Amino acid sequence: MSKMLQNALEEQRKYYSQKLLAIGVYNKQVMTKMTLTELKNEYNYFYHNVPKLERKSSS
């Protein structure tokens, strides 16, 4: 069971690392020092946070 859990965690780390590398946010050296939670948080920040644009009033 622990081997399955370890494999799942490694797959998650690989997924988030690949996505962050693809947009050039971090390099591999920095990401190896990050925890899985940090990788998830950074992934969510860059891929799911859409900035709210405010329109200027036309007056």
Asked if 9 and 40 count as a contact pair (C-beta separation under 8 A), the reply is no
Cα–Cα distance, 34 to 38 (Å, whole number): 6
What is this structure's pTM?
0.76
**Shortest CA distance to 29 belongs to which of 40, 37, 21?**
21
**Shortest CA distance to 36 belongs to which of 12, 4, 2?**
12
Cα–Cα distance, 11 to 55 (Å, whole number): 42
- What is the distance of C-alpha 14 from the center of its chain? 11
Dump pLDDT digits (tens) for 2-52: 999 999 999 999 999 999 999 998 999 999 999 999 999 999 998 887 666
